[in-house]
Amino acid sequence: MRAVVYHGPGQKAWEEVPDPEILDEGDIIVRVDAVTICGTDLHILKGDVPEVHQGRILGHEAVGTVEEVGDGVHTMTPGDRVLVSCISACGTCRFCREGRYGQCLCGGGWVLGHTIDGTQAEYVRVPFADMSTYRVPGAATDEEILMLADILPTGYEVGVLAGGVRPGDVVAVVGAGPVGLAAIAGAQLYSPSHIVAIDLSDARLEAAKHFGADVIVNNSRQDPLEVIRELTGDLAGRLGVDVSIEAVGTPATFELAVQLARPCGRIANIGVHGKSATLHLDELWSKDITITTGLVDTSSTPALMRLVASGEIDVKRFVTHHFGLDEFDEAYDVFGRAADTGALKVVLSR
């Protein structure tokens, strides 16, 4: 088969590799029908995720058809249409028992396209298939369901739920890439009073408006701190946002997200960071803030799937570009130059 193989920072190729095989009784082999590229794949290519070794097949999001099932798989049969989630779960370890699948101790967590071969391929082996894949509801299209593999649960769990968004809150989202936009869509479910989207790209800020941002700030031209002070300053004691969500993954954006929060505010970091950021404890120690970090668990996937299937969350807007499965070079180029191309999610399908 062919697959996107990582060859060290800055290098990848769509090339011929051996077909995946069942290695454990809980495995399935999925024929990839639709697949996408994540901001995290760009981090890997920058060298920010050093545990990804050369030779690894990238990708952790897919919708496909079950080809083959291991002897220990109970809920899937060949021919089933499934969502392959970015997080796998053994289902029995201490963390899986608490729904904290991202932290799985027994070979699950974020493994696809990270520590085992991933989904940017014609076929993929998925471990712990009963816990790590989801049967797709009939009416939804492959590309709608594909948005549930990573960005929607990530924005919702690591941004909105970890940040504790409540009705009436002012929420800032730093970074309006697909994950930041998913956080905006998820925050909407809680009726915040204002959502402020901050990004360097006008195209992405324009998209943020469609997903529900009330205020957009291009921080290459405008100081987000000033905008937020103006927005929240007239409400006594509420200088700053209630919840600040970081969805970029750089020291500067993390520090900005922290700066934007009011005293007693909450800062939810989603971004994957390759470098340390400074925590200004000399300014923060008395502000009573809460900072959360998180790897997505995807425990919200069933609930989000119902919201997508019922049209409560409009996922069609995420998909801006379509490619054939063998057009990864073009797709990475378009996704990697999102500020110029306006790309949000690119979908490659058979």
By CB under 6 A, name the binding residues for ligand NAD: 38-40, 42-43, 150, 154, 158, 174-180, 198-201, 204, 219, 247-250, 252-253, 270-272, 294-296, 338-339
Q: What stretches of 269-350 show up as alpha helix (H) in DSSP?
A: 281-284, 301-309, 328-336, 338-341
Instruction: Give the residue carrying structure tokens 């002070």.
Output: 229
Number of residues that bind Zn ion (CB under 5 A): 9
* 46 sits in which H/E element: helix 39-46
Q: Which does 178 bind (CB under 5 to 8 A by kind): Zn ion, ligand NAD, none?
A: ligand NAD
Q: What stretches of 142-239 show up as alpha helix (H) in DSSP?
A: 142-146, 151-153, 162-163, 178-188, 202-211, 224-232
Q: Which does 252 bind (CB under 5 to 8 A by kind): Zn ion, ligand NAD, none?
A: ligand NAD
Closer Cβ to ligand NAD, 24 or 255, answer by number = 255
Closer Cβ to ligand NAD, 76 or 176, answer by number = 176
Closer Cβ to Zn ion, 89 or 197, answer by number = 89
> Do the Cβ atoms of 212 and 175 come closer than 8 Å?
no
161 Cβ contact partners less than 8 Å away, ≥ 6 residues apart: 300
Closer Cβ to ligand NAD, 61 or 169, answer by number = 61
User: Is residue 104 a contact point for Zn ion (CB under 5 A)?
Assistant: yes
Q: How far is the CB of 39 from Zn ion (least distance, A)?
A: 7
**Burial code of 229-261, b = ≥16 C-beta within 10 A, e = fewer?**
eebbeeeeebbbbbbbbbbbbbeebbbbbbbbb
Residue 88 has which token pair? Answer: 């796998």
Annotate each residue in 191-230 with x if it binds Zn ion (CB under 5 A) or - if it does not, as one string.
----------------------------------------
The only residue of 30, 90, 174, 245 in contact with Zn ion, by rule CB under 5 A: 90
Closer Cβ to Zn ion, 52 or 90, answer by number = 90
Strand-pair partners of 10: none
Give the interface with Zn ion as residue ranges (CB under 5 A). 38, 40, 90, 93, 96, 104, 106, 108, 150
